[in-house]
Structure 1
Amino acid sequence: MKKVFKLGCGGFLALIILVIIIAVFSDGDTSEVDSDTKVETATEPKENAAETKEAVKEEPKEEAKEDNVPREYKSALKKAEMYAETMQMSKAGIYDQLISEYGEGFPKEAAQYAIDNLEHDWKANALEKAKSYAETMAMSDSAIYDQLISEYGEKFTAEEAQYAIDNLE
């Protein structure tokens, strides 16, 4: 059975933006930069030497934990972070996009891992979406709220949507 997704004007706009973002960020370069790598210098005070040694002892444990995470799970997390940061999507919206056969096609387990490990301010995303609807679509507060919580729209929680409406200027 095929699922039919209903997209409102905002959803269609989000889909177009998503396609553009994927095209821009998909340059074929799969190299990664480890932002957690620490570079020690010889000018470090000796009083911090004990702390530095302790940090070095703890780092391999963290790396070992990350090494046990399947590559596809890590990819799902990176993609989820992109959706959250660039498209201001909701947690549920990102999950659905990650598992959709018309979206990313990740297994449900990888998508759930991504959602469980994604730290983001969902209320801020709801507010940004609300501002976009208010400015570009001239929608009423009640229509924006409905779009934010709709299962066919943005899929924010009622609390996130209400925060957005309460903080619209």
Structure 2
Amino acid sequence: MIKLTVGAIALFTLIGASIVSAQNLTGPQKNAVRSAESYLRIGGFSREGLIQQLASSYGDGYEVADATVAVDSLSIDWNEQAVRSAKQYLSMMGFSCNGLIEQLSSSVGGKFTRSQATHGAEQAGAC
């Protein structure tokens, strides 16, 4: 039997799904996790965008199911990813507040939720 402290229980409660999931990942899913972590080191990604990158034949070519499990096994702050992505867009060109929100939330752009895109644009200083 494992004995957990209150702090460990709180931490497990916050990231417990990731801990349990990480232990049960298949080989391809573990590799997809490593790929996802690499992508996250170089840029801001939405959940949908990261899954698409991992599953794309132009990206890594993982099965969508494996890419999804891999991404969902990680503890990722999607709002922070939206801020990172917004800053990347702003470093390349100017955007109005609404224009950046549209770019971040577009199905052909960042693929963030509208809420995440708004947060990203605001925190990056576009609004």
TM-score, with normalisation over the residues of structure 2?
Answer: 0.75
- Identity of counterpart residues, as a percentage? 31
Alignment pair present for 1:128 and 2:84: yes
CA distance in 1, matches of 2:26, 2:113: 30
The structure number with the bigger radius of gyration is 1
Q: 2:72 aligns with which of 116, 138, 144?
A: 116
- Do 1:84 and 1:90's aligned partners in 2 also have CA atoms closer than 8 Å? no
Deviations 1:35-82 (A, max 9, x none): xxxxxxxxxxxxxxxxxx968xxxxxx8xx73x532111000111122
1:26 aligned residue: none
Amino acid at match of 2:57: E
Partner residue in 2 for 1:157: 113
Q: In the comparison of the two structures, how many residue pairs are matched?
A: 109
TM-score with structure 1 setting the length: 0.57
Structure 1 partner of 2:51: 95
Runs of 4+ in 1 over 4 A off after TM superposition: none
Q: Which structure carries more helix by proportion?
A: 2
Task: Give the partner amino acid of 1:110.
Answer: D
RMSD: 2.2
Shift of 1:168: 2.8
Q: For residues 138-162 of structure 1, what are the alpha-carbon distances to aligned partners after superposition, in whole Å with 9 as ceiling and x for unaligned?
A: 1111111111001111101111111
Secondary structure at 2:75's aligned position in 1?
coil
| 5+ long unaligned stretches in structure 1 | 1-52, 56-61
- Structure 2 unmatched runs, 5+: 5-18
